[in-house]
Amino acid sequence: MNARHDRLPAGPAAAASTADPQQRPVRSSCMVALGCIDVDGLAVDLVWSRLSDTVLADFREVEPRRIGTAVFGRAEPAFIAQPDHLDWLGYENRADRILDAAVGLFEARSEL
């Protein structure tokens, strides 16, 4: 098993550091940081996964970090939420706001 008791990734990625301690590092060349948005006072990082052509939405300072994943390739983009944040996402169209930001950044990624 490749899990650690402190919920950090195992292996060399666990030792990665960043100049900005508030920002979680992107630990793979397959992951591209698209930006950070503010959703009702909480910072949400949006990261494009080149392998699956999806955008991952993570809280910057709340555990568990993963909020959900914006998926593309369907008739319409969709946001697949993680169960731990369903209540939070259901309030004031937060899931829709995250999806809208993810779609905008995903479409603009050609500049990266």
Residue 7 lies in a domain: no
In a domain, 69, yes or no: yes
- Residue located via tokens 């309030």: 91
Of 103, 98, 89, the residue nearest 37 (C-alpha): 98
Tens of pLDDT, residues 45-89? 999 999 998 999 999 999 999 999 999 987 899 999 999 999 999
**pLDDT for 44 beyond 50:** yes
Q: How far apart are CA 67 and CA 85, in angstroms?
A: 6
Tokens, residue 18: 């960043």
Please give the tally of structural domains in the chain: 1
Token pair of 55 as six digits: 């955008």
In a domain, 1, yes or no: no
C-alpha torsion sign, points 10, 25, 31, 93:
positive
Q: Is residue 100 situated within a structural domain?
A: yes
Domain holding 63, by residue range, is 28-111
Kind and range of the H or E run holding 70: strand 66-71
> Any bridge partners for residue 43, and if so which?
38
Residue 3 domain-assigned (yes or no): no
pTM beyond cutoff 0.85: no
Q: Is the pLDDT of residue 7 over 80?
A: no
In a domain, 96, yes or no: yes
In a domain, 35, yes or no: yes
Residue 14 confidence (pLDDT): 42
What integer pLDDT is reported at residue 112 of this predicted model? 55
Tell me if 71 is assigned to some domain: yes
| 27/15 Cα distance (integer angstroms) | 10
CA distances from 24 to 72, 74, 89, 96 (A): 24, 29, 21, 24
